[in-house]
Amino acid sequence: MSTRTRYWLMKSEPEDFSIDDLARVKVEPWTGVRNYQARNFMRAMQLGDGVLFYHSNAEVPGVYGLAEVASAAYPDPSQFDRKSKYFDEKSTREQPRWDLVDVRYVRTLKRAITLDDIRGQAEKLGEDFALIRKGNRLSVLPVTAAQWKTILSLE
């Protein structure tokens, strides 16, 4: 039995890049992740995996749309770009530190599923759901099929 995660949640600050931006460009390289855990999750992603598009640092934080993984993980070019704020001097082309995946727009939710909505299902989602764990700051995190279903049932 395969136990790979087929669903993920990815956070973006809407002032920086929102679901509307993704709807416009259709496919976006998920640049700028500089956290090893989040990077490792992206490395585990496979084409077609489902993504909950989450707005963080928003007026109303929550899931605003659906996307899907549109590439396998590959080195994030911004780590080599001296002019980028994501430049990492410890990264080399031979041994890149940071990967990303491309993310493709699927749809915008009819109504945002807010963080409050999601917290309301905490019991069903489980203590281990990283989004609602205290102090959690992970920007890319796995979602089980059951959690995916529970969250989308709130739309």
Partner DNA sequence: GCCAACGTTGGC
Contacts with DNA, residue ranges (CB under 7 A): 11, 13, 34-37, 56-58, 61, 90, 115-116, 133-139
The least CB distance from residue 70 to DNA, in Å, is: 22
Among residues 2 and 15, whose Cβ is nearest to DNA?
A: 15
Cβ-contact 103, 10 below 8 angstroms: yes
CA distance 12 to 140: 10
Among residues 35 and 153, whose Cβ is nearest to DNA?
A: 35
The least CB distance from residue 143 to DNA, in Å, is: 15
CA distance 104 to 65: 11
Among residues 69 and 131, whose Cβ is nearest to DNA?
A: 131
Cβ-contact 6, 51 below 8 angstroms: no
> Distance between terminal CA atoms of the chain?
30
The least CB distance from residue 10 to DNA, in Å, is: 10
